[in-house]
Chain A
């Protein structure tokens, strides 16, 4: 009796140590992966705050400097690029909010013939994204005389299927009773949209806004194709031009420029980590 009890206790103990050992291995693996994931960024940060000569050697007490950032800032019109990206991102976001809100409201609440087919046509853009169609869109832009303008970078993205889809889902969850109550009060359709639906969808707007801003801040291929001057180039294209043409292999300066251009999003992410993560989650759950 007692023998078997001891044996059971012994197996439980070995089982527990085995689980503990396994947990330790998993923790180490998770941390190793975390190190790999953060290493390129830390390496660039290291290079950016040390003099060019010390950029690639790891002397812990090498002198620190911010000269690389100053040099990078002086070497290319980054101020202009920042401004261009800021205009671009703001313009796209404002247009997306207006256009997607109107379309989503129609799809969510108006029951009209053909709405199903139209909605399916809208969803096509989820698969066939504008960056795949760059040859034809370039042709359209040159016909409209818009090549090398900030408007041309933003135009294909303004009516966003993703935004319409997301807002439609949110609007559908608004209780119809609220709308009816507002109608009894004598509100017009537009007033109902602005006073009932939009305020209730605030978290969705925040989520979509963060996703949209980080997407367009980072977008590259279409802006590369459609712009060819300092006055229109967004940061990403400016950085690519800077890194490939001007600098050869001065890693300290390139690292500084890279960090500088990513800084606003990176700092925003670090400050509002929870909102960022939750926004991306919300945007992904269909």
Chain B
């Protein structure tokens, strides 16, 4: 016989679970299923093609480029945003002049919509008129540069926007962690005559371990998810120089309506995210020192 608590629990869980399964678990499984069929077109229904969609994807130069771009995007945005966030938190937490104003300046990008951010930066990057070109012209005498229209600089420009948007958000978590470190530790260190660098590496940084793990996981997820600005600013161009996995899923699924390829690509993205989760739970959780 079922206990009353069990029945109550299920009654309370059912609405949330139904929605969760319909829009997270079911689509994940259905994506895998559909990635094994061809895209239905007109009168031709979808037919079983096995792993053909995956084989085709790896033969698609745009996909390979997007994968490579995404690797660069991740390798740049993750360490940069974390390092800048940590520096910001240390500064805002110290007795620096105007810390309230600084904290506000650092955090403001977090509350802006990514689309608004994209417009601001489009303007910022505009050849000739943009603030960046006006600055480089005055400081170094450079001519106008099409920052987001040139293959060599476009991805870098997108990375800068992402770091700008994320760093203030991550700063908050470091700030919370810094404020939780007991002052007695610093007093002890200063009695011992430890240098500031020594204190940072031996006291502060190890105690920030759990926060860094949390921020790192968020930064990794964002490296694959934070693409709104790319869709607005470059649409993956010029010549696919800023195409990332998620922007290419959008292209395939909703511009070319090639849902089979889009499903296969989604599975690859899911695999990357799953690997991140596994890494978090299996490797990092054991190593990081928890209070």
* Residues of A in contact with B (beta carbons under 8 Å apart): 26-27, 30-31, 33-41, 43-44, 47, 56, 98-100, 102-103, 105-107, 110-113, 115, 118, 121-122, 124-125, 127-140, 155-156, 158-159, 161, 164, 189, 214, 217-218, 220-221, 224-225, 235-237, 239-240, 243-244, 249, 251, 254-255, 257-259, 261-262, 265-266, 268-270, 273, 276-277, 280-281, 284-286
Contacts and interface: CB of A to CB of B under 8 A. Distances in A.
B114 interface: yes
Contacts of A130: 23-24
A139 B250 CA distance: 14
A132 B28 CA distance: 9
Nearest to A85: B113
Contacts of B176: 281, 284-285
Contacts of B263: 135-136
A244 B232 contact: yes
Interface string B192-218: 000000000000000000000010000
B84 interface: yes
B111 A214 contact: yes
Nearest to A188: B8
6 contacts: A113-B6, A127-B274, A132-B269, A135-B262, A159-B17, A255-B123
Contacts of A284: 172-173, 176, 214
B172 A277 contact: yes
Nearest to A158: B19
B253 A240 contact: no
A98 B16 CA distance: 9
SS class, residues of chain B in contact with chain A: helix
B30 A127 contact: no
A123 to B, nearest CB: 9
Nearest to B24: A125
Interface residues of B, number: 90
Interface in B97-131: 97-98, 101-124, 126, 129, 131
Interface in B1-21: 3, 5-6, 8-10, 12-13, 15-20
B119 A255 contact: yes
Contacts of A115: 9
B171 to A, nearest CB: 10
A131 B167 CA distance: 22
Interface stretch (B62-70, B149-157, B223-231): B223-231
B19 to A, nearest CB: 4
Interface of B: 3, 5-6, 8-10, 12-13, 15-20, 22-28, 30-31, 34, 84, 87-88, 91, 96-98, 101-124, 126, 129, 131, 134, 164, 167-169, 172-173, 175-176, 214, 221, 224-225, 227-228, 231-232, 246, 249-250, 253-254, 259, 262-263, 266, 269-270, 273-274, 276-277
B62 to A, nearest CB: 17
B112 A133 contact: no
B270 A280 contact: no
B102 A136 contact: no
Given A239-B116, A258-B120, A30 B102 contact: yes
B12 A134 contact: no
B227 A127 contact: no
A271 to B, nearest CB: 12
Contacts of A131: 225, 246
A221 B123 contact: no
Contacts of B270: 128, 132
Nearest to B97: A27
B91 to A, nearest CB: 4
A155 to B, nearest CB: 7
A135 B266 contact: yes
Contacts of A224: 231
A269 B20 CA distance: 31
A37 B164 contact: yes
Contacts of A158: 19
B231 A127 contact: no
B9 A110 contact: yes
A43 B263 CA distance: 41
Contact of B108 (A106, A137, A269): A269
Given A129-B221, A133-B23, 16 more contacts: A44-B123, A56-B129, A106-B13, A132-B270, A133-B27, A156-B19, A159-B19, A161-B24, A214-B111, A236-B113, A251-B126, A255-B123, A262-B112, A269-B108, A273-B104, A281-B173
A26 to B, nearest CB: 7
A8 B254 CA distance: 73
Contact of A34 (B18, B102, B124, B126): B102
B84 A103 contact: no
A236 B112 CA distance: 11
